[in-house]
Amino acid sequence: MKFFNFSFLFLFSQACFAQTTYAVIVGISDYEILDYRTGDLKYADKDAIRFMDFLKSPLGGNVPNQNMVSLPNKRATKNNMSEAMRIFQKAGPYDRVIFYFSGHGVESAFVPYDVKQKDPSSLLTHADVKKAFKASKATTKLIIADACMSGSMKSKKPPVSMAKAVKEFNDINVAMILSSRSSQSSVETIRVKGGLFTFYLLNGLQGKADKNQDKKVTIKELFTYVSPRVKKGASNGQAPVFAGKFSDDLVLSLIP
C-alpha cells in the first residue's frame, strides 16, 4: 500500500529538444530495518528499472548509461544518493536533470535504505534534493517520486498539504506530478506488477496518452490519460495531482 506519494515529472525528448539528460534513479523495495511484514515493498526497485529503461529508449531521449546513476535497494543509502546528485552539476543551461525515487516517503523527505528509526537526520529531505538542483545550471529540473509510507514509519502529524509540498520547489521551477493526494494511499498491485501510477505514467509516455495523434505527448495529455485510469484502478482511492510551473502544451515525449 502506497501513501503520501510525492511524485513529480517533467520529461522531454532529447531527439526533439537536443537536451542532454542527467538522472539519478532510486528504487528501494528491501529496507535495512524492514521486512515484508513491516513495510518492505514489492515493486519499487522494478519500477525504477522500468523508468531507467524508458530513459534509454528513443521515447525517453536515448539517455546514455554514463549520464545516469542507478541506486537499487542496498546501494540507495543517504550518502550515496547525495553523492549521486552531484552529477546534476554537469548539466548546462539547456539540459535537464531528473531525480527519480521509488520507495518509502515521510513528510518532506525520502526514506533511504539505511534509515534509522526516530532519527530525522538519516532521511534525504526535500531540502537536500532542492540544494542539489540549485547547484545545477539545467533549465529543466525534474523530480519523480513514487514514495510509500509503511505503517511503522507513519507520523502522528497530519499529512503535509499539497500547497506546502509544491511551495518547497516553487522557486526553482520544478513541475510536479503527484501520484496521489496527501490524504490518500497509492497502490501497488500484482495485476500490473508495479505501482498503478508508474504503470500508467510509462504507458502514457510511450504513446497511449497521445490523444490527438500528433506523435507528441504533452503534459496535459499525460494527466488526462493517467488520472482516470489510476482512479479507477484504485477504486477512487487515489487521485494523481499535477502541480508546478509549466505550459499545458509542454511536450514530454515523441512517438516514432
Distance CA 31, CA 113 (A): 5
**Is the pLDDT higher at 159 or at 237?**
237
> Highest mean pLDDT range out of 24-28, 125-129, 161-165, 242-246?
24-28
pTM: 0.85
Distance CA 74, CA 76 (A): 5
Is the pLDDT assigned to residue 49 strictly greater than 70?
yes
Predicted confidence band at 184 (pLDDT cuts at 50, 70, 90)? Answer: low
Burial class (CB in 10 A: 0-12, 13-18, 19+), 196: buried
Residue 47: helix, strand or coil by DSSP? helix
Residue 1: helix, strand or coil by DSSP? coil
- CB-CB contact of 58 with 24 (8 Å): no
Domains of the chain and any CATH numbers: 2-254 (3.40.50.1460)
- CB-CB contact of 5 with 245 (8 Å): no
| E strand map for 86-187 | 96-106, 109-110, 124-125, 140-148, 176-178, 185-186
